[in-house]
């Protein structure tokens, strides 16, 4: 299976996270949504919600407010917006403000998981994000005094260090020779996946990940560690917020 193919749709954002506008053709339309041959709408996954945006065609627009993932990627249109017929040439556009905020937020979570792992060895057990707000769960039995402030300071240092955030495709065998990947992804990447997308905050954190990220840690723009919650039995939840 091609890693950037979902059903009949080529996922353009896998290779180019900066892409915001592109040309496409409608392959299918139903009440479940619109299938394009090419799409840069992030469909959701790994805690990152789907993109919003618009399809422009024939002098009208179809607003896109979500994506349904099945055999195909189906773009969910807004209420009673007009729908393009099969074969229509459309111009797709991802809403930039929301996507860019989500890229910063997603990269912030990877930075946070890298910092917390380096400091404590704690593994991530879950996470979720909205634009500029996120939480990440860790298996962390002991929280030393001043932990929140210490993590905040380390996050600030890593943002200021402006580490490159690189995306690469590699074979499953190649990817699983990276120790960090084994730590985070052994149980998450299904056996039928032969090509793995790797997101590397160079020198800090390497993960198998399909999400969209900014190009360097400085572009995250800052990380406010809002709260460390004790959810019991070694389960700690860290909440972060990013500046506008």
**46 or 84: CB nearest Zn ion:** 46
Tell me how far, at minimum, the Cβ of 177 lies from Zn ion, in Å: 20
Distance CA 132, CA 214 (A): 13
Tell me how far, at minimum, the Cβ of 227 lies from Zn ion, in Å: 21
**53 or 211: CB nearest Zn ion:** 211
- Give bridge partners of residue 25 from the DSSP assignment: 89
**128 or 139: CB nearest Zn ion:** 128
Tell me how far, at minimum, the Cβ of 39 lies from Zn ion, in Å: 20
Neighbouring residues of 179: CB distance < 8 A, sequence distance ≥ 6:
none
Site string for Zn ion, 144-183 (x = CB under 5 A): ----------------------------------------
The neighbour count for residue 90, using CB atoms within 10 Å, is 21
Site string for Zn ion, 196-215 (x = CB under 5 A): -------------x-x----
Residues in contact with Zn ion, counted by CB under 5 A, come to a total of 3
Tell me how far, at minimum, the Cβ of 165 lies from Zn ion, in Å: 11
Distance CA 2, CA 169 (A): 11
E-only strand ranges, the chain? 5-6, 9-11, 21-30, 33-36, 38-39, 53-57, 60-69, 73-77, 89-94, 123-130, 133-139, 165-171, 195-201, 205-208, 224-230, 235-241
Task: Tell me which residues in 28-47 interact with Zn ion (CB under 5 A).
Answer: 46
**46 or 77: CB nearest Zn ion:** 46
**36 or 136: CB nearest Zn ion:** 136
**72 or 209: CB nearest Zn ion:** 209
State the residue number with the nearest CB to Zn ion. Answer: 209
Tell me how far, at minimum, the Cβ of 61 lies from Zn ion, in Å: 31
CB 242 within 8 A of CB 105: yes
Distance CA 63, CA 61 (A): 6
**From the DSSP assignment, how many helices (H) and strands (E) are in the chain?**
4, 16
Task: Tell me which residues in 42-71 interact with Zn ion (CB under 5 A).
Answer: 46
Tell me how far, at minimum, the Cβ of 1 lies from Zn ion, in Å: 20
Q: How far is CA 17 from the centre of its chain?
A: 10
> What are the φ/ψ torsions at residue 165 (nearest 5 degrees)?
-115, 110
| Contact positions vs Zn ion (CB under 5 A) | 46, 209, 211
């Amino acid at each position: 299976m091609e890693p950037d193919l979902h059903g009949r749709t080529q996922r353009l954002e896998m290779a180019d996270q900066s892409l915001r506008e592109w040309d496409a053709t409608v392959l299918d339309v139903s009440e479940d949504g619109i299938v394009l041959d090419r799409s840069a709408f992030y469909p959701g996954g790994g805690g990152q919600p789907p993109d919003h945006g618009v399809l422009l065609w024939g002098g009208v627009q179809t607003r896109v407010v979500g994506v349904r993932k099945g055999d195909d990627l189906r773009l969910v249109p807004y209420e009673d917006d007009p729908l393009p017929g099969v074969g229509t040439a459309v111009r797709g556009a991802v809403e930039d403000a929301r996507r860019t905020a989500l890229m910063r937020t997603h990269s912030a979570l990877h930075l946070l998981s890298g910092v917390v792992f380096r400091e404590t060895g704690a593994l991530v057990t879950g996470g979720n994000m909205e634009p500029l707000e996120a939480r990440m769960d860790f298996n962390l039995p002991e929280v030393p005094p001043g932990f929140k402030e210490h993590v905040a300071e380390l996050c600030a240092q890593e943002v200021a260090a402006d580490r490159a955030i690189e995306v690469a495709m590699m074979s499953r065998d190649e990817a699983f020779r990276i120790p960090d990947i084994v730590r985070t992804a052994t149980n998450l990447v299904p056996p039928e996946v032969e090509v793995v997308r790797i997101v590397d905050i160079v020198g800090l954190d390497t993960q198998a990940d399909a999400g969209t990220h900014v190009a360097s840690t400085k572009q995250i723009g800052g990380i406010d560690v809002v709260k460390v919650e004790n959810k019991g039995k070694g389960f700690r939840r860290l909440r972060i917020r990013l500046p506008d």
